[in-house]
Structure 1
Amino acid sequence: MKIESITHLGMGRAEDGTLVPRVLPGETIELTDDGARVIEPSAARVSPPCRHFKACGGCAMQHASDSFVADWKASNVAKSLAAHGIDAHIQGVDTSPTNSRRRAKFSGRRTKKAALVGFHARASDTIVEIPDCQLISPALKATLPALNELTKIAGSRKGEVAMTVTESSSGPDIRVEADKELTEELRIELADWANAHSIARLVWRDEPVVTINVPVQSFDGIRVLPPPGAFLQATVQGENALQSAVKQIVGKAAKVIDLFAGSGTFSLPLARNAEVHAVEGEKVMMDALDRGWRDTRGLKLVTTETRDLFRRPMLPDELDKFDAAVIDPPRAGAEAQIAEIASSKLKIVAMVSCNPVTFARDARTLIDAGFEMGAVTVVDQFRWSPHTEVVCAFTRQ
């Protein structure tokens, strides 16, 4: 069986349409009970750098060379744009290094005598332990033994425990999702565990359990305390690449509006040179951004607005007050908000997206409204996965 192509999710497509994982275009394979045996390998095939790759479902493309993965991700972006009649220049792929993920969601399950903590196997509820994971940062890897203990405390034999762990300057910031009721007895046990393992903050669902050290994040040197579980770029390197590109696009704009601003990833660094109005649907994120601004000297005025931009997008008369806009929506894109930008007098838009498909749709709207699309930079913070982020300038006279 010959593999003709590879899908945007990293599955090989054979001549008859069969989808096969962990193969590459041009390879001749034989299907087996546990996948495929490669008879004639591609020149792009490499030995997976992680010993967990075969069992773990966290990565899809470790069997391919770095250059192949970069080209594949760039190609996925180009194909999404081409589907909307856009012939864009992909100027490069900025790939985060190994062991750089500063945030990950681990699964835990109690066993008869111990516990399992790790990631799920591909398309399975089975948890695979990942002590030598090549994705997560050394700080996150160091928390795994403590998470094992936490699973014994918080978990049950019937259900999983989900533990979102974020690296911070003062220790792990952990949010737990579990079926157990947070009783006073459990709260005390969790606080003792957090103290014993130097956990910065522990939150049970949305209820704080203990904060031992404030888990501060730094956005271009500006200190911010995001709310528990709040969105954060997956790697420092990826965040830096996106911030640098956005700064370059915005240029010398004196007044900037930041749409889907989160806790200030772009707003606060931009405030070194421009007045910024940050808009976000979650008030706790706006509060975190505001505190970060107030606690930092030398920044220009930053104002915040809590607003659901899907249901109530900023209108042209509101947008026209600004010299440039930054927009970084979730995976669904920002169809309604982009339509209002298209109808406004804005001349500069920096668009960041974590979904090439909705990015292409929204880009088409801006192009049809007279914007010229610049070169697209692909930022790969999720190494060896199908996930891809992009940043691009849109300008008009």
Structure 2
Amino acid sequence: MVTQHEILRLGHQGDGVAAGPVYAPATLPGETVSGTLSGSQLTEVRIETPSADRVQPPCRHAKSCGGCQLQHASDAFVSAWKQEIVATAIEAQGLAAPIRGIVTSPAQTRRRAVVSARRTKKGAMAGFHARGSDVIIQIPDCQLVDPKLLPGLPVAEALAVVGASRKGELSVTLTVTENGLDVAATGGKPTDGPLEIALAQVAERFDLARLAWDAEVIAKRQPPVQRFGAANVEPPPGAFLQATPEGEAALLASVQEIVGDAARIVDLFAGCGTFSLPLAASAEVLAVEGDAEMIKALDQGWRRAQGLKKITGAVRDLFRRPLVPDELRKFDAAVLDPPRAGAEAQVAALADSRLDLIAYVSCNPVTFARDARVLVSSGYHLTWVQVVDQFRWSSHIELVAAFSRNEA
């Protein structure tokens, strides 16, 4: 049965929400839409009255591919919506702060993507999943990723041919590096001698910088280098990396503004040194991270670089063993960049410290706001928030927030 609905708002996942609630993909507030209701989901959606913010999707794969949720919305609408989500999350915790605006990465700048690959009767296919489905959609003209990433699609297909089971699916992480593609695949067959030879041949045929199979490096033909400040770093296979160079630069600029001329900085959840290495140009840094391989990569990058101040790497699970106030007292500023769950334990320790400055980098406005309330309750001032959108056309949001013990 076809029903008609008015879209009232967008949900946090980018779907339009009508009274009920009823969720309708690829719709916008103010639109009248019709479709078949299945539970709370509207399917076979038809736009009866379009919004003035509706635009023609720039990518020809937009209707079938599930990689982007918001290509049907104008850039101005998406920017305002993402800023509103951040402001609403902050207000829900009884807080207020100036939102500086939003820095949005250009199209075709995503330097890293995870694609799926599966064997077929005629060979293999690779791409993104269709929305809410395990069907793989091929994306030869994707407008989201860096064009240097697209040659990784036939790589993923070749890997599926030699290493995927008949019913299995490979997850293939493709990353643009200074020296070519870095490829890390999971979900394939266990390695043995013949498979390792076949995988090495794929790396050779496609001129890959590095190929890893279930975290085991099969071939490294060139260093898979990422540039962080003055340092060249070789992250471990599949390691976290900011999605776009422009997004990373925006996050770093805000962090540098917050810490200012601090001489001693602690970088919590430091990864491979996205912030630690550029900050070491003018400050001594303690980089704390739970993954030993990331800290190893950071340390090697620092040792090979010229002109940086001392970076001390520490492997530590900050969820179980946060740095306590006595350990924090030797620093002038902290950088905090936790995963989506936030950093409850570490934030509680920071709240009990006398640290002057905190640059909080977050990919989840809700957990950020929860942690911000703890810091503000302990005497910190939430000075400003910068929203960063490096996941263009998606519902994903990042931000940097400045906290200070001094109101000025």
TM range (shorter): over 0.9
Match of 2:133 in 1: 124
Unaligned runs of 5+ in 1: none
The two structures have a TM-score, normalised by structure 1, of: 0.98
Task: Report deviation, 1:296.
Answer: 0.7
The 8 Å contact of residues 60 and 141 in structure 2, kept in 1 or not, is answered as: yes
Match of 2:314 in 1: 305
CA distance in 1, matches of 2:375, 2:74: 35
Match of 1:352 in 2: 361
Task: Report deviation, 1:34.
Answer: 4.5
CA distance in 2, matches of 1:9, 1:78: 17
The 8 Å contact of residues 342 and 369 in structure 1, kept in 2 or not, is answered as: yes
CA distance in 2, matches of 1:149, 1:305: 39
Establish whether residue 6 from structure 1 lines up as the match of residue 10 from structure 2.
yes
SS at match of 2:122: coil
Establish whether residue 169 from structure 1 lines up as the match of residue 173 from structure 2.
no
- Kindly provide the CA deviation profile for residues 262-306 of structure 1, in whole angstroms up to 9, marking residues without a partner as x: 000000000000010110011111111111111111101111111
- Kindly provide the CA deviation profile for residues 75-131 of structure 1, in whole angstroms up to 9, marking residues without a partner as x: 111111111111222111111010100001110011111211000111111100011
Letter in 2 for 1:186: L
CA distance in 1, matches of 2:330, 2:16: 49
Match of 1:384 in 2: 393
The 8 Å contact of residues 230 and 277 in structure 2, kept in 1 or not, is answered as: no
Task: Report deviation, 1:319.
Answer: 0.2
Match of 2:39 in 1: none
Aligned-pair Cα RMSD in Å: 1.0
SS at match of 1:252: coil
- Compare 149-158 and 209-218 and name the one that shifted more: 149-158
The 8 Å contact of residues 21 and 35 in structure 1, kept in 2 or not, is answered as: no
CA distance in 2, matches of 1:181, 1:23: 43
Which of 45, 57, 71 matches 2:54? 45
CA distance in 1, matches of 2:395, 2:14: 6
Match of 2:225 in 1: 216
- Kindly provide the CA deviation profile for residues 209-243 of structure 1, in whole angstroms up to 9, marking residues without a partner as x: 11110101001242111111111000000000011
The 8 Å contact of residues 271 and 299 in structure 1, kept in 2 or not, is answered as: yes
The 8 Å contact of residues 154 and 178 in structure 1, kept in 2 or not, is answered as: no
Letter in 1 for 2:343: A
Match of 1:99 in 2: 108
The 8 Å contact of residues 140 and 172 in structure 1, kept in 2 or not, is answered as: yes
Match of 2:27 in 1: 23
Match of 1:226 in 2: 235
Match of 1:257 in 2: 266
Task: Report deviation, 1:254.
Answer: 0.5
CA distance in 1, matches of 2:238, 2:229: 20
Match of 2:327 in 1: 318
Task: Report deviation, 1:165.
Answer: 0.8
Establish whether residue 396 from structure 1 lines up as the match of residue 400 from structure 2.
no
Match of 1:273 in 2: 282
Unaligned runs of 5+ in 2: 37-41
Match of 1:142 in 2: 151
Match of 2:71 in 1: 62
Letter in 1 for 2:300: R
CA distance in 2, matches of 1:231, 1:143: 18
Which of 287, 290, 301 matches 2:296? 287
The two structures have a TM-score, normalised by structure 2, of: 0.96
Task: Report deviation, 1:178.
Answer: 2.3
The 8 Å contact of residues 100 and 135 in structure 1, kept in 2 or not, is answered as: yes
Establish whether residue 242 from structure 1 lines up as the match of residue 251 from structure 2.
yes
- Kindly provide the CA deviation profile for residues 326-384 of structure 1, in whole angstroms up to 9, marking residues without a partner as x: 00000110000000000001010000001111100010011001111122111111111
The 8 Å contact of residues 166 and 174 in structure 1, kept in 2 or not, is answered as: yes
Identity among equivalent positions (%) equals 54
CA distance in 2, matches of 1:92, 1:325: 23
Establish whether residue 81 from structure 1 lines up as the match of residue 90 from structure 2.
yes
SS at match of 1:358: helix
SS at match of 1:325: strand
Task: Report deviation, 1:147.
Answer: 2.1
With over 3 angstroms needed to count, the CA separation of the structure-2 counterparts of 1:35 and 1:81, relative to structure 1, is farther
Match of 2:164 in 1: 155
Q: Which runs of 4+ in 1 moved over 2 A?
A: 32-35
Task: Report deviation, 1:157.
Answer: 2.1
Task: Report deviation, 1:315.
Answer: 0.4
Letter in 1 for 2:23: L
SS at match of 1:180: coil
Establish whether residue 368 from structure 1 lines up as the match of residue 377 from structure 2.
yes
CA distance in 2, matches of 1:5, 1:179: 41
The count of corresponding residues between Structure 1 and Structure 2 is 397
- Kindly provide the CA deviation profile for residues 302-323 of structure 1, in whole angstroms up to 9, marking residues without a partner as x: 1111110000000000000000
